[in-house]
Amino acid sequence: MGKSAVMSTIASAPESWPWPPIVRASVGWHLLAVGAAVFVPGAAPWAIGAIVLNHVLITAAGLTPRSSLLGPNVTRLPKAAADRREIALTIDDGPDPEVTPRVLDLLDAHGQRATFFCIADCVLAHPALAREIVARGHSIQNHTAQHRHNFSFLGPRGFAAEISRAQQVLEETTGQRPSCFRAPAGLRNPFLAPVLHRLGLLLVSWTRRGFDTRERDAATVLARLTRGLAAGDILLLHDGHAARTAAGRPVVLEVLPPLLARIRADGLRAVTLPEALAA
């Protein structure tokens, strides 16, 4: 199936959301606990404990970026892409006027493609740079409007406002409507999945990450990304909010040259997420 057909299928997805088993079980658990508290003498403390335990489980699922308990979550490329020896290099939190142009030059020099999960407010601040990302063969996807630190605490309306606004800004700026979404830090709650479903967006996390927003040693970041590197992996780096080496250089710029060389040496090819997910 071609990319356009896949996008059409996603866009025409039904409005109703098939709630995941853990969410349906949570509703039943709450009803059972309330019923026990009301009708069973002395059961109230146990019922409260059961509800608290349930909330802890749901919260833990939302705080685990690679979890699929709260809804679909792409953590690896599909088998067809892995069979083609493809990986996805994803770069978050930009565009950044200092770092992103040099990232683009490095990608061009090695003949590889990347997916940039961009913050809409940064795109508004640097629209020409966003258009250059697309013009040079890369993909821009949705990383919310503002990258709010309290994003995982939002409800349905808050999620819809942040994500819809980002969709509009990114499409109007680049001419391409995002099909993938990544939450800030990968954190979320049960209300996110139905909003993404309604907007025709796929939640994408990663296979491995370098923690390059806080790790200043490029060798450590590189080791995290390349340890067990294999076809189908989704790698995470940052052009925005990038940590700096002791010499003051953005870590991503130190990591990319040896990482891209390793990708080529292993017979792998970095492609955009829409390309990898289209089949």
> Domain check: are 27 and 123 in the same one?
no
Which residue range forms the structural domain that includes residue 58? 21-62
Specify if 6 maps to a domain. no
State residue 273 phi and psi, 5-degree precision: -60, -45
Specify if 259 maps to a domain. yes
> Domain check: are 45 and 139 in the same one?
no
**pLDDT for residue 26:** 62
**pLDDT for residue 18:** 76
**pLDDT for residue 200:** 96
Q: What is the pTM of this model?
A: 0.86
Total domains in the chain come to: 2
Specify if 70 maps to a domain. no
What CATH number did the domain enclosing 188 receive?
Answer: 3.20.20.370
Specify if 200 maps to a domain. yes
> Domain check: are 103 and 146 in the same one?
yes
> Domain check: are 40 and 164 in the same one?
no
Specify if 9 maps to a domain. no
- The alpha carbon torsion through 239, 231, 63, 92 (nearest 10 deg) reads 10
> Domain check: are 98 and 42 in the same one?
no
User: CA angle at residue 25 from 21 to 31, to 5 degrees?
Assistant: 155
Q: 3-class DSSP state for residue 100?
A: helix
60 — pLDDT class (breaks 50, 70, 90):
low
- Supply the mean pLDDT for the chain: 88
pLDDT tens readout for residues 79-122: 999 999 999 999 999 999 999 999 999 999 999 999 999 999 99
Higher pLDDT, 31 or 163: 163
Specify if 67 maps to a domain. no
**pLDDT for residue 35:** 63
> Domain check: are 142 and 46 in the same one?
no
**pLDDT for residue 2:** 34
pLDDT at 20 over 80: no
Choose one of 6, 30, 62: the last residue of a domain.
62
Q: Which residues are identified as catalytic?
A: 92, 238
> Domain check: are 44 and 92 in the same one?
no
- In this prediction, residues 33-49 reach a mean pLDDT of 65
**pLDDT for residue 14:** 43
Rounded-to-integer distance, Cα 145 and Cα 183, Å: 11
> Domain check: are 118 and 179 in the same one?
yes
Specify if 7 maps to a domain. no
pLDDT at 202 over 70: yes
Of 211, 208, 217, nearest in space to 235 by CA? 208
Specify if 226 maps to a domain. yes
Choose one of 62, 90, 112: the last residue of a domain.
62
Percent of residues, the chain, with pLDDT higher than 70: 80
The DSSP 8-state label assigned to residue 151 in this structure reads: G
> Domain check: are 90 and 53 in the same one?
no
Residue type at position 270? A
> Domain check: are 173 and 245 in the same one?
yes
pLDDT tens readout for residues 225-265: 999 999 999 999 999 999 999 999 999 999 999 999 999 99
Q: How many residues does the chain have?
A: 279
> Domain check: are 165 and 256 in the same one?
yes
> Domain check: are 57 and 140 in the same one?
no
> H-helix or E-strand containing 18?
none
* H helical segments located in 63-93: 79-83
Choose one of 32, 62, 92: the last residue of a domain.
62
Cβ atoms 108, 82 nearer than 8 A: no
Supply the DSSP string of 40-53, one letter for each residue: STT-HHHHHHHHHH
